[in-house]
Amino acid sequence: MMRTEELKSLLERYYRGETTLPEEQLLKSLLLQNDVPEELEEDRKTFLFLSDLSQQETALPSGLQERLAESISRWEAADTRQPRPKAGKPAFRLTRWCTGIAAALLIATGAGLYIQKTTDRPHDTFDNPQLAYVEAQQALQRFATALNKGQNQLSKAESQTLRIKEQLDKCRNTLADTPKNRKP
């Protein structure tokens, strides 16, 4: 029997979607045995439930194949009835394309002229370096305060998320413990 820690590790990789098909088959065969550790009993129940579901046959609705064939035929008929493009359409598309390029060039030129006009050499806003240092410290302090406030909100959200996850796990466990109606 595989050690419990190895089985847990394989389960974690399975839940993350990182297992190969042979590993999944091995995991299924191990969990379907009766000597599974008690801490993995919930996982065992889940695999038993999924195994039962996969063995049940589902009947297809009657007439499904005919309805699908009829729908495909209608779609094909609709495709053949669409009008062909006229000979003048490519010229219209070329005109629209050229107009779009001209508009883009006009906008780019206008933006470039505006930026060139408004961009002057940067100049200092403070003549006194000590005053600039004090202002920079104050700005950084305000930024740190805002950052701490955001981190506090984030930690509150994280704790609420954990509480919700615990509630969902309880609900899942309750649903897993309820008896299922199984057909003999």
Res. 66 pLDDT band, cuts 50 70 90 = confident
**Mean pLDDT computed over 138-146:** 90
176 vs 133, residue with greater confidence: 133
Look at residue 183 in the predicted model and tell me its pLDDT: 46
Amino acid (one-letter) located at 130: Q
**Mean pLDDT computed over 82-91:** 61
Amino acid (one-letter) located at 154: L
Res. 89 pLDDT band, cuts 50 70 90 = low
Res. 141 pLDDT band, cuts 50 70 90 = very high
Locate the domains of the chain by residue range.
4-52, 140-176
Q: How far is CA 131 from CA 100, 125, 136, 180, in A?
A: 51, 10, 9, 75
Look at residue 181 in the predicted model and tell me its pLDDT: 46
Q: Could you tell me the pTM of the whole model?
A: 0.30
List the one residue out of 17, 12, 5, 19 whose CA is nearest residue 43.
12
Report whether pLDDT(184) > 60: no
List the one residue out of 34, 19, 27, 32 whose CA is nearest residue 2.
27
Report whether pLDDT(176) > 70: yes
Res. 14 pLDDT band, cuts 50 70 90 = confident
Look at residue 56 in the predicted model and tell me its pLDDT: 67
The pLDDT tens digits of the residues spanning 20-52 come to: 888 888 888 888 777 778 888 888 888 777 767
Res. 15 pLDDT band, cuts 50 70 90 = confident
17: three-class secondary structure by DSSP: coil
**Mean pLDDT computed over 140-165:** 88
List the one residue out of 45, 49, 1 whose CA is nearest residue 26.
1
